[in-house]
Amino acid sequence: MCGWRSILKKFDLVIPCAGIGSRLKHLTKKIPKNMVNIRGNTILEKQINNFFLEKNKINKIHFILGYKSSILKSYILNLKLPFKIKFHINKKFKMTGCAQSLSIALKYLNHDSLILNSDLILKQKIISEILNNKKKNFVYLRRPILNEKSRAVKAVINKNIITKIDILKRKYNYDVVGPFKIDLKSIKILRKINQLTNRENLLKMSCYTFIGKLTDFIEFKHSLIADRDWYEINTLKEYRKAQKKNF
């Protein structure tokens, strides 16, 4: 019976995509960032297509929209993705960060969840690994090599346990890449954290810093991800490099 239940285990995939994507400048004047085209496909297509082999493990995709929301919603619906879809709207996207978007969707998450930045593209093998490993709460980290893939959000490790996830300038061990896999019990804790967090502090908070508050209550397992297995497109420089990559 346990093995059968394991086979049926499904996740909610959560993709906050309300931001303006201003660092991509002219590319996002008329469309949201994840509709930007990379070698014939949009960022969103490249991101979601790598989930197709694991589509039976996805219960629903939650998109949190904001900037150009009607354009993005129509685009997503026209893709006719093989997943159930739910849309949420962050009406305050101009003045808020990713944490605010995530907080809007939290009460609708009724499964273990995978929280994925809207511009983070993972190789298919990484998606299979994170969905199939037995770790209830999990995140990918990278060695803090100083290059174009350096991350602002860091992880502090003590005796192989993540004790802090936040934007740090020093005294950290790894960069945080994501995505975050979070079980339903921990999602419920995150809802309580959301209720207790000062609204002004939440407004500009990143998703990763917000999720990082869970480290006071739960243990995140982690693995290191190689830079060749992921790509994120935040800037024009990253966009130009992405045009030369296969992923």
Give the confidence band of 245 by pLDDT, cuts at 50, 70, 90: confident
pLDDT of 170 > 50? The answer is yes
Residue 2 pLDDT > 60: no
The yes-or-no verdict on residue 6 having pLDDT over 90 is no
Q: Over the stretch 140-164, which tens digit does the pLDDT of each residue have?
A: 999 998 888 889 999 999 999 999 9
Predicted local distance difference test score (pLDDT) of residue 8: 64
Q: What pLDDT does 1 receive?
A: 43
The percentage of residues in the chain with a pLDDT greater than 70, rounded to a whole number, is 96
Q: Quick one: tokens of 145?
A: 């090599």
Is residue 4 over pLDDT 70? Answer: no
Whether the bond into 179 is cis, omega within 30 of 0: yes
Q: What is the pLDDT of residue 9?
A: 83
81-99: pLDDT as tens digits = 999 999 999 999 999 999 9
Domains of the chain plus CATH, in order, are 2-242 (3.90.550.10)
Picking from 104, 116, 101, 52, the residue whose alpha carbon sits closest to that of residue 81 is 52
Query: To which residue do tokens 């354009």 refer?
Result: 71
